[in-house]
């Protein structure tokens, strides 16, 4: 199962993100101000792996684990699945202009997914050709 936030852009084939033996992988290392190592914008889970992650969850349990400004899925995953395998630039998974993103606004070579964590949203970047092509579906002029 591959879980993707709605405010991200798929820019290439996602098939390679399903490969590998890791039963859980999550976007890692892109939070600048939040100390949590994980970002819930992109994660993959083998069905049936670690059912306790789901069965142990409650609003009270989530509030009791270390979190940044408010309890969230990222903190819960970090609590229940520390040291999980990472998605990141080597996989073509990026967070727009966050750690791991090259200088500038161009789509990184090999990018498959671009997440827009926090206040950012693709609608604020429609001046970028790759956003217009991959998010708005505009055709490329020949």
What pLDDT was estimated at residue 142? 52
Query: Sign of the CA dihedral 6, 45, 118, 125?
Result: negative
pLDDT for 58-68, tens place per residue? 999 999 998 88
Per-residue pLDDT of the chain (142 residues; tens, 9 = 90+): 999 999 999 999 999 999 999 999 999 999 877 889 999 999 999 999 999 999 999 999 999 998 888 878 899 999 999 999 999 999 999 999 999 999 999 999 999 999 999 888 999 999 999 999 999 999 866 5
What pLDDT was estimated at residue 2? 96
Sheet of strand 38-45, all strands in order from the earlier edge strand to the far edge = 2-4, 38-45, 24-28, 85-87
What pLDDT was estimated at residue 141? 65
**Average pLDDT for the chain:** 93
Sheet of strand 8-10, all strands in order from the earlier edge strand to the far edge = 8-10, 113-115, 93-95
What pLDDT was estimated at residue 15? 97
Whole-structure pTM value = 0.92
b/e string for 48-86 if b means 16 or more Cβ within 10 A? eeeeeeeeeeeeeebeeeebeeebbbbbbbbbbbeebeb
- Can you list the positions of beta strands (E) in 7-129? 8-10, 24-28, 38-45, 85-87, 93-95, 113-115
What pLDDT was estimated at residue 110? 96
């Amino acid at each position: 199962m591959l879980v993707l936030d709605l405010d991200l852009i798929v820019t290439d084939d996602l098939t390679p993100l399903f490969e590998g033996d890791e039963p859980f992988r999550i976007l890692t290392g892109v939070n600048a101000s939040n100390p949590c190592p994980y970002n819930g914008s992109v994660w993959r889970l083998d069905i049936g792996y670690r059912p306790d992650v789901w069965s142990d969850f409650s609003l009270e349990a989530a509030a009791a684990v270390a979190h940044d400004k408010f309890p969230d899925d990222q903190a819960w995953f970090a609590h229940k699945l520390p040291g999980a395998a990472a998605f990141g630039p080597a996989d073509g998974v990026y967070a727009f202009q966050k750690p791991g993103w090259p200088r500038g606004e161009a789509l990184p070579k090999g990018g498959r997914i671009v997440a827009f964590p926090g206040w950012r949203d693709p609608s604020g970047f429609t001046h970028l050709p790759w956003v217009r092509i991959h998010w708005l579906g505009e055709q490329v002029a020949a």
